[in-house]
Amino acid sequence: MAWACRLGLLLALLLPVVSASTPGTVVRLNKAALSYVSEIGKAPLQRALQVTVPHFLDWSGGVLQPTRIRILNVHVPRLHLKFIAGFGVRLLAAANFTFKVFRAAEPLELTLPVELLADTRVTQSSIRTPVVSISTCSSFSGHANEFDGSNSTSHALLVLLQKHIKAVLSNKLCLSISNLVQGVNVHLGTLIGLNPVGPESQIRYSMVSVPTVTSDYISLEVNAVLFLLGKPIILPTDATPFVLPRHVGTEGSMATVGLSQHLFDSALLLLQKSGALNLDITGQLRSDDNLLNTSALGRLIPEVARQFPEPMPVVLKVRLGTTPVAMLHTNNATLRLQPFVEVLAAASNSAFQSLFSLDVVVNLSLQLSVSKVKLQGTTSVLGDVQLTVASSNVGFIDTDQVRALMGTVFEKPLLDHLNALLAMGIALPGVVNLQYVAPEIFVYEGYVVISSELFYQS
């Protein structure tokens, strides 16, 4: 995992510096997330507490006898995490240790209950990732007992063994917890990694400021930067910072993620600048239901029939010179595309001849979904496609008649192309091996909220 942290740091240094003063995304981890971490964290904590116990020096027989002691088992029946407002997270754990004492006469097994208490501060690292550090830590050991309850060992020896073991645990357990936390920090460092959006584009998240901790959640203000060919996509800075209201989404969810209008605008600008939204629509000339030929077009535009007495293939060159616009209103997300469509026909010399061009406006309904770690979308056409003739080399064009044809040959290929792009998705804030589970999506005025459970795949 260390390589992921080093790679993240290297990318943070090599990529262009982008202002992160205004967050476009807010990630809020709620109490339910701490409960989940408490459950899945028991096994790692048990492994971390398997410390090495040095030999016990036994003088009971009048001769110094080094006695080996080994931890056979650590069981953590209880691990509880809670938010400390304005600070971080408190860890409370109960652990039961089983020791084997390799005495010359007869091996001895002891059990020892231990209570652990640690307060951790959550701040921001130099590379704009969350970082957790131990502020205070202490362990409280109970009374050691023989495993079988026989109490056959002398009281004096048991007292000495217990004193030795407790001293070792007092020195080592908090260090083990600190090492465990450092491993968590390495994992949190993967937040800044680049995630692909397309063949030549990526998205990178980084924290804007120190996390906000309340008694109910920890909130991370995150800046999302999209890159095209290594260069950041920059939009004019919105004077109004994005603030995620307290009571949004599903109550009791592990994570609440707020995505601002700014993120959607950046993603659409990226698609437009990369040329990914452009497409050429063609048809099969010899197909009986092909309407993309000069014969079908000639029935609507007489000059086309005159210039092309024999059927020739027609191509629609769809180009997005204007950035699509996403509109987020309560329970309603839409897109507006304004493509420029040039209609060309193959001439006898195999070159293509421009017949006419159209300024088109397409309004689309946008349905959002989440798959594992990606936000995806699908669209459908809202209302009629609006057409305006931009230029014509074939005389007068009746847009009402052309609209009927365009509805047949233009809408479906455009939707198929756009939905294929949106299905690729855009990575949501996250770290390695963490997935969003059972997400619910809510559209509000100017932003989107994802309420989700989380699943960590170790």
Neighbours of 139 (CB within 10 A): 20
Q: Which of 209, 224, 211, 206 minimizes the C-alpha distance to 132? A: 211
Q: Kindly state the average pLDDT of the residues 200-204.
A: 90
- Outline where DSSP puts E strands in 300-433: 314-319, 325-329, 332-337, 340-346, 352-371, 374-381, 386-392, 426-427
Task: Mark whether 416 and 272 lie in a shared domain.
Answer: yes
Rounded to the nearest integer, the mean pLDDT of the chain is 87
Q: Within a domain: residue 224?
A: no
First to last CA, the chain: 12
300/439 same-domain check: yes
- Residue 136 CB neighbours (<10 A): 11
Per-residue confidence (pLDDT) for residue 394, from 0 to 100: 94
Last residue of a domain, one of 158, 189, 220: 189
Question: Would you call 185 helix, strand, or coil by DSSP?
Answer: helix
Q: In terms of residue numbers, what domain contains 305?
A: 233-456
Identify the pLDDT of residue 26.
93
What phi and psi values does residue 295 have, to the nearest 5 degrees? -65, -50
266 with 388, same domain? yes
CA–chain centroid gap for 301, Å, is 51
- Residues 353 and 274 placed together within one structural domain of the fold: yes
Task: Confirm whether 194 is domain-assigned.
Answer: no
Lowest mean pLDDT across 98-107, 223-232, 303-312, 370-379: 98-107
Q: Please state the domain count of the chain.
A: 2
Percent of the chain residues past pLDDT 90, beyond the cut:
62
Q: Would 207 be classed as within a structural domain?
A: no
Q: Given this model, what pLDDT does residue 289 score?
A: 64
Residue 217 forms part of a structural domain: no
Do 147 and 252 belong to one domain?
A: no
Position 95 pLDDT exceeds 90:
yes
Residue 407's pLDDT is 80
Structure tokens at 16: 């262009």
- Provide the whole-model pTM: 0.85
Q: Which of 22-26, 36-40, 250-254, 284-288 has the lowest mean pLDDT?
A: 284-288
Residue 3: its pLDDT value, please? 37
Residue 22's pLDDT band (cuts 50, 70, 90): low
Indicate whether 20 belongs to any domain: no
Which of 94-108, 135-149, 413-427 is most confident? Answer: 413-427
Q: Which value, to the nearest 10 degrees, does the dihedral of the CA atoms of residues 244, 246, 252, 257 take?
A: 10
Residue 214 domain-assigned? Answer: no
Of residues 157 and 251, more confidently modeled: 251
Enumerate helices (H) and strands (E) in the chain, giving the number of each: 9, 24
234 or 218, higher pLDDT: 218
pLDDT at 190 over 50: yes
Question: Has residue 362 got a pLDDT over 70?
Answer: yes
The CATH number linked to 372 is 3.15.20.10
CATH number at residue 67: 3.15.10.10
* Cβ count near 132 (within 10 Å): 17
Q: Is the pLDDT score of 105 beyond 90?
A: no
Q: Are residues 181 and 271 in the same domain?
A: no
The answer to whether residues 307 and 452 belong to one domain is: yes
Residues 273 and 379 in one domain: yes
Closest CA to 430 of 214, 213, 193, 250: 193
Among 118-122, 202-206, 261-265, top mean pLDDT goes to: 118-122
CA 207 – CA 22 distance, rounded (Å): 10
The model's pLDDT over 140-181, given as tens digits with 9 standing for 90+, comes to: 999 888 865 555 556 777 788 889 999 999 999 999 999 999
Of the candidates 166, 189, 212, which is a domain's last residue?
189
Q: Does residue 196 lie within any of the structural domains?
A: no
Phi, psi (degrees; rounded to nearest 5) at 251 = -65, 135
Q: Is 42 exposed, middle or buried (0-12, 13-18, 19+ CB in 10 A)?
A: middle
Q: Where are the alpha helices (DSSP H) in 279-374?
A: 294-298, 302-307
CA–CA distance from 302 to each of 293, 299, 306, 394 (Å)?
14, 7, 6, 8
Question: Do 294 and 409 have their domain in common?
Answer: yes
Q: Is the dihedral of CA 119, 122, 125, 131 positive or negative?
A: positive
What are the strands, taking DSSP E only, across 86-238?
88-102, 108-124, 130-141, 145-146, 195-198, 201-207, 212-213, 217-228, 231-232
Distance CA 50, CA 372 (A): 34
pLDDT at 7 over 80: no
pLDDT band at 235; cut points 50, 70, 90: confident
Same domain, 369 and 440: yes
Shortest CA distance to 96 belongs to which of 84, 121, 78, 82?
78
Write the CA distances from 322 to 268, 319, 359, 433, integer angstroms: 10, 9, 11, 38
Instruction: Name residues whose C-beta falls within 8 Å of residue 125's C-beta, 6 or more positions apart in sequence.
Output: 131, 185, 189
- Assess whether 256 and 182 both reside in one domain: no
Last residue in a domain, options 155, 173, 189: 189
**Pairwise pLDDT comparison (152 vs 302), residue with the higher score:** 302
Which percentage of the chain shows pLDDT scores above 70? 89
- Clarify whether residues 265 and 162 are in a common domain: no
Structural domain includes residue 444: yes
Residue 273 near residue 266, CB atoms below 8 Å: no
How many CB atoms are closer than 10 A to CB 298? 20
